[in-house]
Structure 1
Amino acid sequence: MKRAVLNATGLLVALFAVFPVFWMISTSFKPNREIFSSTPQPVPREPTLQHYREILTGNLIPGVTFTDFFVNSLLVAAATVLVSGLIALLAATAVARFRFRLRTSFLIMLLVVQMIPLEALVIPLFFMIQRLGLYNTLPSLILTYIGFSLPFAVWMLRGFVAAVPKELEEAAAIDGANRAQTFWRILLPLVAPGLVATSIFSFIVAWNELIFALTFINDQSRYTLPVAMTFFFGRDDTAWGSVMAASTLLTLPVMIFFIAVQRRIVSGLVAGAVKG
């Protein structure tokens, strides 16, 4: 009975979380008369690809297509994941393996930084980006998102690195492996699950962020997808069909990325040790 209650509760929570996604996808295939119907229709009676054709073949602004915004978001997200993952892994290894002055203060600062509302940093970061000469460029977003992702990534990876027995590294050293070989062949496979989890977090941060992308970029051809979504919201009306279709396409890369790396998330440290 206890297990049945827990399973039923978990199912209700899952349905509550999945329903908005289901409604988004369903609405993207509905014609406008069904979207604005006074009677809610969970499943479209007359499915249509009209909204997808409008956003994929039309120009949201003169000379710029939805694909251009998609490529901008993909470049920013990919660069953020790669750079933040590498820096976080090296920093987490240093924090977990070495003892140095102000080490505890550094760890505390990682937590403190995450408590600061991101909106409070818009103005100071804007002036900083201007002084660096990066205003209206995609690298300005990449640097900003890397800064947002690093505290969480370093803190999370530190636990994975600390959980790796030092005896494995010592055994590799005895067998003749140098520090670089020990890092890539022993430590990296063991912390891969944590690295993948932090990469998903970094990818979502860079893929969905709107405020900084709207503030740091003035050239419309360099807008990312979240900023491009604002073009569907007018003063008098909103193209809800296009909004839902664009939102569905915006969600797909995150889902594909998660599905591609989900094995690494659920794999344990023992699996990594065997592969190493």
Structure 2
Amino acid sequence: MTPQATAHPAPAAGPPRRTPGRPAGRRARRWALNGAGLLVAFFAAFPVYWMIATSLKPSREIFSSTPRPVPTEPTLEHYREILTGNLIPGVTFGDFFLNSVLVAGSTVLLSGLVALLAATAVARFRFTLRTSFLIMLLIVQMIPLEALVIPLFLMIQRLGLYNTLPSLVLTYLGFSLPFAVWMLRGFVAAVPKELEEAAAIDGANRAQIFRRILFPLVAPGLVATSIFSFITAWNELIFALTFINDQDSYTLPVAMTFFFGRDDTAWGPVMAASTLFTLPVIVFFLLVQRRMVSGLVAGAVKG
């Protein structure tokens, strides 16, 4: 008889060993990343802070040889000057502001509507030259805007839109649509077709399916693209200066050029006007911030 082997019990598994210094390494890396983020945020926010601080300084403090980060004698004289005075005889800062709001608002609404319909067609239907159309959307965005000034000017003249605000809306619409269609296409493609088919079985027509099923699911992407359209129309200068001749139809970027003279520059009013010029963009960002972030992330991983 062979002796039976004695089974030895396996040693009980103890707690996992902790590598010395690992928590400290993670903490140091986290502090380094946070510090780098704060440094980048500081460099990005400092020009905006300096603009607001300068707009609150009196003229003698702006041109002082010793720059002061904080106004010692805050004043609103520069804001009163641009809001109550006339940059151009008979035209106030509010008129320029209203022109910019009309142009930017119209661009956002039209680009959102047209881009959503075009993105739905591209994502849901198969038609001839569909791939070529998508490639053209990318190629259009590679063309520098300065190269299009003369051809667009001739086209606007032939359409009879020269010296009108709709000429700017049409131009900005052409610049914002390729990006909007390309981005919204991913959102529409990510919506399951089964949802639309189920709604159709329940008796919903195409308009009801689009309004109740597709539109709510694509809304975050629509908000993200509206940011691009708004900034494009709000900040653009070259085409606004080329297509508009009447001074009472100027937008804010064009009106800002009146503060810069040949011999000197009114830096106080420039900074005050720039602050008021920036406020609508900041408010727009704050209103759509949550949907914008979710829209950008979803658009990056879906499609």
**TM bin (shorter chain):** over 0.9
Q: Of the candidates 49, 57, 64, which is equivalent to residue 84 of structure 2? A: 57
TM-score, scaled relative to structure 1:
0.95
Q: Which residue of 1 aligns with 2:23?
A: none
Q: Matched residues in 2 for 1:201 and 1:31: separation?
A: 36
Q: Matched residues in 2 for 1:137 and 1:159: separation?
A: 35
1:137 and 2:164 equivalent? Answer: yes
Q: Of the candidates 222, 233, 242, which is equivalent to residue 260 of structure 2? A: 233
4+ residue runs of structure 1 moved beyond 4 angstroms? none
Q: Matched residues in 1 for 2:42 and 2:149: separation?
A: 36
Q: Which residue of 1 aligns with 2:281?
A: 254
Correspondence 1:133-172 to 2 at 5 A: 133-172=160-199
Gaps of 5+ in 1: 270-276
Q: Matched residues in 2 for 1:134 and 1:268: separation?
A: 35
The one-letter code of the counterpart of 2:243 is F
The one-letter code of the counterpart of 1:150 is L
Q: Matched residues in 2 for 1:207 and 1:52: separation?
A: 20
Gaps of 5+ in 2: 1-27, 297-303
Please list the CA deviations of residues 114-133 of structure 1 after superposition, one character each: whole Å capped at 9, or x if unmatched.
00000100000001100111
Structure 1 range deviating more: 65-74 or 8-17: 8-17
TM-score, scaled relative to structure 2:
0.87
* Aligned partner of residue 263 in structure 1, secondary structure: helix
The one-letter code of the counterpart of 1:65 is T
Q: Matched residues in 2 for 1:268 and 1:56: separation?
A: 37
Q: Which residue of 1 aligns with 2:208?
A: 181
Q: Which residue of 1 aligns with 2:242?
A: 215
Q: Matched residues in 2 for 1:158 and 1:16: separation?
A: 35
Whose helix fraction is larger, Structure 1's or Structure 2's? Answer: 1
**Root-mean-square deviation (Å):** 1.2
Task: Compare CA radii of gyration and give the structure with the larger one.
Answer: 2
1:97 and 2:124 equivalent? Answer: yes
* Aligned partner of residue 43 in structure 1, secondary structure: coil
Please list the CA deviations of residues 127-169 of structure 1 after superposition, one character each: whole Å capped at 9, or x if unmatched.
1100111110000001000001001100111111111111211
Q: CA deviation at 1:2?
A: 2.1
Q: Of the candidates 188, 208, 220, which is equivalent to residue 193 of structure 1? A: 220
Aligned length: 269
Q: Matched residues in 1 for 2:228 and 2:37: separation?
A: 23
Correspondence 1:1-150 to 2 at 5 A: 1-150=28-177
The one-letter code of the counterpart of 1:126 is F
Q: Matched residues in 2 for 1:83 and 1:238: separation?
A: 37
